[in-house]
């Protein structure tokens, strides 16, 4: 990494010059030297070097470790320590400042170059890593769902995104600081469900979807849907779960409204069914009554024909002129047919006049219009008019339908 800008902090001028010459010989850009911590901070602020070579022991109020800590906190510039002291106590103090390397005095040119190159490389990699972390963190924290990672079996949250506030109604810090906080906010109706899921986790079983209810900071009920992914070690042990939590309260309310509407519809259908069944029962009773009344009417008609009219016709047949006997026989045939015909046939005949009923019976018995005209002593045209009127009253609109065939089909 040639052309890197380096600041040398060394209180021994001769050593500082030697280091400067070595660095220039390698190809680095030495932006300056400083002999005290205070001076070093000023030059760092002015030149913003890529790396600082820091002697641990410096003259003045600030030693190298103090100065390195200020540079780390305020400028995020990598520091490599130069020291003749390698005791454990000194190294422990230096480690707190997160240095990028150590060089023990005296050192060679190649050794110095190697440590600087490694420090610059490490710094660049860490910088890229931080940038990527910031980019992905920004992406995650912009999502409206709460993203988390929980270690197991401890149940500690390593991370909980800020969207926890939106989803749960609590800051993410609540979950991170108190691993048991999630259990404290579970709604009583979901406690058994959550205990069951924790028992599954203890067995290494990760259900991909949880749905449970919580109470938020205002004691309002909220429904949560949690998507889970289990993380396992090389031996197959569950060591963590990562997941996404989203609020589904509105969806649950819609489902509940739909369920209530469905139940209400079923209730109304049942009520309507019972009502229709009652009406159907009543209708059956009415129809049964009508049917019974029809039978009674039929019995009365049959009784009147058999007991009253037929005996009269029998006497009439004995007394009538032989030429008119056919008329009496036609009347008797019509009455007997009337007594045995269904009630629907009777309703058809109710539309006809007495003369039309008389002609109707003659047609059924096969008499032609001419024969009917002679028997009734009326003009053939009159018979034809009666036939046309009968067809109209009986609803026979098709001229191809034979009147006698139709009348016979009714019996």
pLDDT in tens, 109-161: 999 999 999 999 999 999 888 878 777 666 666 678 999 999 998 889 999 99
- What distance in Å separates the CA atoms of residue 301 and residue 256, rounded to the nearest whole number? 66
According to the model, what pLDDT value does residue 408 have? 82
Burial string for 326-343 (b: 16+ CB within 10 Å, else e) reads ebbebbbebbbbbbebee
Cα atoms in the Cβ-side hemisphere of radius 13 Å centred on 252: 12
Q: Where in the chain is the domain with CATH 3.30.450.20?
A: 146-247
Is the confidence at residue 386, as pLDDT, over 80? yes
- What distance in Å separates the CA atoms of residue 70 and residue 58, rounded to the nearest whole number? 15
Average pLDDT over residues 353-357: 83
According to the model, what pLDDT value does residue 140 have? 65
- What distance in Å separates the CA atoms of residue 323 and residue 311, rounded to the nearest whole number? 21
| pTM of the model as a whole | 0.48
pLDDT, greater one: 135 or 240: 240
H helices present in 224-353, as ranges: 249-304, 310-319, 325-340, 343-349
Q: Where in the chain is the domain with CATH 3.40.50.2300?
A: 5-139
Is the confidence at residue 41, as pLDDT, over 80? yes
Q: Residues of the chain with pLDDT > 70: what percent? A: 91
Please give the CATH number for the structural domain made up of 5-139. 3.40.50.2300
Cis, peptide link before residue 106, omega less than 30° from 0: yes
Residue 181, φ and ψ in degrees, nearest 5: -60, -40
- What distance in Å separates the CA atoms of residue 157 and residue 141, rounded to the nearest whole number? 16
Question: Is residue 36 within 8 Å of residue 57, measured between CB atoms?
Answer: no
Question: Is residue 207 within 8 Å of residue 228, measured between CB atoms?
Answer: yes
Residue 320, φ and ψ in degrees, nearest 5: -75, 155
3-state secondary structure of 189: helix
pLDDT, greater one: 406 or 27: 27
* Mean pLDDT score across all residues of the chain: 87
Q: Band of the pLDDT at 394, cuts 50, 70, 90? A: confident
| Burial of residue 369, with CB atoms counted within 10 A of its CB: 0-12 exposed, 13-18 middle, 19 or more buried | middle
Please give the CATH number for the structural domain made up of 146-247. 3.30.450.20
According to the model, what pLDDT value does residue 336 have? 67
Here the tokens at position 241 are: 């779960």
51-55: strand order across its sheet: 29-34, 5-9, 51-55, 79-83, 101-104
Question: Is residue 155 within 8 Å of residue 182, measured between CB atoms?
Answer: no
According to the model, what pLDDT value does residue 138 have? 67
Treating both helix axes as pointing N-terminal to C-terminal, what angle do 354-364 and 369-376 enclose, rounded to 10 degrees?
Answer: 130
pLDDT, greater one: 221 or 323: 221
Question: Is residue 177 within 8 Å of residue 171, measured between CB atoms?
Answer: no
Q: Band of the pLDDT at 319, cuts 50, 70, 90? A: confident
According to the model, what pLDDT value does residue 397 have? 84
């Amino acid at each position: 990494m040639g052309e890197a800008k380096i600041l040398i902090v060394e209180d021994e001028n001769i050593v500082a010059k030697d280091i400067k010459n070595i660095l220039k010989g390698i190809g680095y850009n030495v932006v300056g030297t400083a002999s005290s911590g205070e001076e070093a901070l000023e030059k760092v602020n002015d030149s913003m070097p890529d790396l600082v070579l820091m002697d641990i022991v410096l003259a003045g109020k600030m030693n190298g470790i103090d100065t390195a800590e200020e540079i780390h906190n305020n400028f995020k510039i990598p520091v490599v320590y130069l020291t003749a002291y390698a005791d454990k106590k000194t190294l422990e103090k230096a480690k707190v400042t997160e240095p990028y390397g150590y060089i023990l005095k005296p050192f060679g040119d190649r050794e110095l170059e190697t440590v600087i190159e490694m420090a610059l490389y490490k710094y660049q990699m860490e910088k890229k890593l931080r940038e990527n972390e910031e980019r992905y963190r920004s992406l995650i924290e912009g999502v409206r769902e709460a993203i988390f990672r929980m270690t197991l079996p401890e149940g500690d949250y390593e991370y909980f995104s800020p969207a926890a506030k939106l989803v749960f109604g609590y800051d993410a810090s609540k979950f991170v600081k108190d691993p048991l906080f999630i259990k404290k906010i579970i709604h009583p109706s979901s406690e058994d469900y959550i205990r069951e899921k924790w028992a599954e986790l203890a067995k290494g079983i990760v259900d991909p979807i949880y749905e449970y209810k919580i109470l938020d900071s205002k004691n309002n009920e909220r429904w949560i849907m949690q998507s889970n992914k289990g993380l396992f070690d090389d031996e197959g042990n569950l060591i963590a779960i990562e997941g996404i939590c989203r609020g589904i309260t509105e969806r649950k309310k819609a489902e509940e409204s739909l369920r209530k509407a469905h139940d209400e519809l079923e209730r109304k259908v049942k009520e309507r069914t019972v009502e229709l069944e009652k009406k159907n029962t009543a209708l059956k009773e009415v129809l049964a009554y009508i049917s019974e009344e029809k039978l009674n009417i039929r019995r009365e008609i049959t009784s009147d024909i058999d007991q009253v009219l037929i005996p009269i016709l029998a006497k009439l047949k004995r007394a009538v002129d032989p030429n008119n006997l056919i008329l009496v026989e036609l009347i008797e045939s019509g009455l007997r047919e009337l007594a045995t015909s269904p009630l629907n046939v009777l309703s058809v005949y109710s539309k006809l006049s007495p003369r039309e009923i008389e002609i109707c019976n003659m047609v059924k018995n096969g008499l032609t219009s001419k024969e009917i005209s002679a028997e009734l002593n009326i003009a053939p045209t009159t018979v034809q008019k009666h036939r046309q009127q009968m067809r109209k009253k009986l609803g026979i609109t098709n001229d191809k339908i034979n009147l006698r065939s139709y009348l016979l089909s009714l019996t």
